[in-house]
Structure 1
Amino acid sequence: MGDQTSWKMMSIAFNKMKPYLAMISLQFGYAGMFIITMFSPPFAFFLERKIRPKMTLSVFLKIMLLAFLEPVLDQNLYYVGLKSTSATFASAMVNVLPAITFIMAIIFRLEKVNPKQIHSLAKIIGTVITVSGAMVMTLYKGPIVDILWYSEGGSHHRAASGSAEHEHWVSGTIMLIACIVGWSAFFIVQNKTLKEYPAELSLTSLVCFMGTVEGGVVALVMERHTSAWAIGFDSRLLAAVYSGIVCSGIAYYMQSVVTQVRGPVFVTAFSPLSMIITAVLGAIILAEQVHLGSIIGAIIIVFGLYSVVWGKSKDKTTSDKLSYAEEKAQELPVVDIKTSVNVDNDNIETAGKSHIPQDQFFTARAMKT
């Protein structure tokens, strides 16, 4: 009996931890940088053949929009912004994602806000703080802060490209902000699509496939040099494969599952992990220079972010309490007011059935007792 109770408690705890574990694992994938769609369709075809709903025009249009927002718009803007700034700066700017998602969720009525409640006020204040941190990172660079792994080789390498980076810093930041807006819109549309098409793996496959088609068309229009299409066994091929498998295929599926359980704001709440991992890897591998403005802005963003997350967690607690109360209410016995009631062995019909006024009925019952 004791073993069964322990096993049940462990099972409940694991189910509660699954969204957290999934998003933490996903952030390790994002730290390396943003699938090849050949892997997910076979799994989707066999595993979801019984639950896959019928494809409608509305769902198809939403899938096309999802494919444009994430694989095409978001990732291309991210790479352009990354080229003009740095990996650490770009990953820090991504922390604005929950605030932008929260604002868009309010606009599309996926989030409810009541300024009179503390947790709703925390979400509003956290959003303002997060946006303020992003503005600090954009407008103030400050001096370079030496990191433990900073090396002389990295210093010469960064000095060679430093002038171009300073020149395009603001434009790169604008690209990153536009990328984040597109990413937030992706989460909102994904949340609405899952309500009509609740097959996560199939949705992932379709989004990746449509993203490949749309991305190919955009690349043909924008990239005229044939050298850009050359494929070799080098870092470019590795980056493309990793970006496809981890940041599209695995990411879309995990996001779909967790979004259905906890909502789009929860999904975006784990982005600071990517910033920390990227800062460490960037210092070790790329010997990147970290500016004081980036550190200050990142700290402000994290404070604002977790103010939003705290408010969101209170929403979840309130929702769970309401669900529990509704379940208990459904378990209560239902009494038909039109049935007769026996008082002191005298059959007295209730006011709902007899012609006795309701106040006289309860007065008579009180006198009998």
Structure 2
Amino acid sequence: MKEMSRDRWSLYADLGKPYLGVLFLQLGYAFNGIIVKSALNKGLNPCTFSVYRNIYAVIIFGPFALYFERKLRPQMTLPVFLKIMLLAQLEPVMDQILYYTGMKYTTATFAIAMCNILPALTFFMAWIFRLEKVNIRRVHSQGKIIGTLVTVGGAMVMTFVNGPPIPLPWTTVTRVHHPPATATASPDHHLKGAIMITAGCFCWAGFYILQAVTLKKYPAQLSLTTLICMMGALQGTVMTLLIEKGKTSIWSINWDTKLFATLYSGIVRSGASYYISGLVMKNKGPFFVTAFNPLGMVIVVIVSSFTLGEQMDLGRVVGALIIVLGLYLIIWGKSKDSSLTDSRSNEIDTVDLETTPDKNGDGNLKPNIIDGIIREDAKGEASV
């Protein structure tokens, strides 16, 4: 009886690990946006910030990769190395420079809101590259598509709809007014920032897709994370020198907010997030990792309400409820994918047992032919 109970709790723990992983990612992303925006306002250069945070990630995670994966690390091949170089260019360099430069032109809230298009971009990219199972005629696939659109819509509601304030005991009585991004930046800068953030989201989605593909050939997550950050630091240094054209003052960092933002972002946003996202997408796919991205806005609203006493608007609460509904549809669709995969594998195993040739050696090849047809049919259905 105790063994059955222990096995049940072990099963629940295994099922809950991916959700704890994406929750950690969203907590890290939410706090990272606030911290980095404060440092950017104090003069942090987005290009050198990208270089330094990747260097810190290599320093922290490199020793763990060398020790824990010394026996698991596969041999490096040219195709894998080229994929790592492209991964480093997509997220540690292009996405970070574009995203944080766009944030500098706008606001942290606007940048976080724009990133809510990431689940939709990743979903359709994963669909195109057949990393996500989608069959329009299946109800659970329709649920994933509708859930993605609902989640993005809820994030937009949280951003652009205010509504009447909700009085809470721990918040301030007067309503806190947050000026829109256009009030702190010119319209040209605001448009430029929006374009940069959108381009960064495309790079970010492409990074997740390519990371899922690379992990199939190079499954050592810690080593892959370290190599991505190392190549990102090298490529970012070259790009910074080309963009800034020999400005030496941008490389100086003192013991202030800029140093803290770089350390936090390097450890949490680069190293830990790459590693955890790789672990999660190994079982759930790249879309599952990004589907919870709008949850970051909900976390920011709740944390700011308790810690800063900011007034909570009805629009934010409605948007949060819409996001929860969309996430529920996505989780439901993904769970049906897993159950269908498990049932299909069980059917194949059963057929293998029933059609195995007997040990008398009667020479009957028909069961092997049937088994091959079933396996080919299962592969064909899985790629739909």
Please tell me the residue identity of whatever aligns with 1:163: A
**Using a 3 Å threshold, how does the CA distance of structure 1 residues 270 and 125 change in structure 2: closer, same or farther?**
closer
Please tell me the residue identity of whatever aligns with 2:241: L
> 1:96·1:134 contact (CA, 8 Å) conserved in 2?
no
What SS does structure 1 have at the residue aligned with 2:294? helix
Task: Provide the identity percentage.
Answer: 47
Deviation string 1:73-124 (CA, Å, 9 cap, x unpaired) is 1122221232334333333333322221110011112123222111122233
Superposition CA RMSD, Å: 3.5
Please tell me the residue identity of whatever aligns with 2:209: I
Query: Which is further off, 125-134 or 284-293?
Result: 284-293
Distance between the aligned counterparts of 2:161 and 2:141, measured in 1?
34
- Give the structure 2 partner of residue 264 of structure 1: 286
Structure 2: gaps of 5 or more residues:
34-53, 367-384
Deviation at 1:178, TM superposition (A): 1.9
Deviation at 1:135, TM superposition (A): 7.3
What SS does structure 2 have at the residue aligned with 1:271? coil
- Give the structure 2 partner of residue 86 of structure 1: 107
Distance between the aligned counterparts of 1:15 and 1:274, measured in 2?
23
Residues 167-178 of structure 1 correspond to what in structure 2 (within 5 A)?
Answer: 167=187, 168-178=189-199
Deviation at 1:281, TM superposition (A): 4.1
Please tell me the residue identity of whatever aligns with 1:330: D
Match status 1:163 vs 2:183: yes
Please tell me the residue identity of whatever aligns with 1:228: I
Deviation at 1:126, TM superposition (A): 3.5
- Give the structure 1 partner of residue 298 of structure 2: 276
Deviation at 1:47, TM superposition (A): 1.3
Residues 176-191 of structure 1 correspond to what in structure 2 (within 5 A)?
Answer: 176-191=197-212
**Using a 3 Å threshold, how does the CA distance of structure 1 residues 79 and 151 change in structure 2: closer, same or farther?**
farther
Distance between the aligned counterparts of 1:160 and 1:262, measured in 2?
37
Structure 1: gaps of 5 or more residues:
341-349, 353-369
1:54 to 68, 75, 78: 75
Query: Which is further off, 61-70 or 13-22?
Result: 13-22
Distance between the aligned counterparts of 1:175 and 1:298, measured in 2?
26
Larger Rg: 1
**Using a 3 Å threshold, how does the CA distance of structure 1 residues 43 and 151 change in structure 2: closer, same or farther?**
farther
- TM-score, normalised by the number of residues in structure 2: 0.75
> 1:75·1:179 contact (CA, 8 Å) conserved in 2?
yes
1:218 to 239, 261, 272: 239
1:98 to 103, 112, 119: 119
- Give the structure 1 partner of residue 11 of structure 2: 12
Deviation string 1:170-207 (CA, Å, 9 cap, x unpaired) is 44333322222111111100011011111111100000
> 1:154·1:286 contact (CA, 8 Å) conserved in 2?
no
- Give the structure 1 partner of residue 335 of structure 2: 313
Please tell me the residue identity of whatever aligns with 1:198: P
Please tell me the residue identity of whatever aligns with 1:211: G
Deviation at 1:282, TM superposition (A): 4.8
Distance between the aligned counterparts of 2:186 and 2:317, measured in 1?
17
- TM-score, normalised by the number of residues in structure 1: 0.78
- Give the structure 2 partner of residue 41 of structure 1: 62
**Using a 3 Å threshold, how does the CA distance of structure 1 residues 337 and 47 change in structure 2: closer, same or farther?**
closer
Please tell me the residue identity of whatever aligns with 1:89: F
Distance between the aligned counterparts of 1:123 and 1:136, measured in 2?
20
- Give the structure 2 partner of residue 361 of structure 1: none
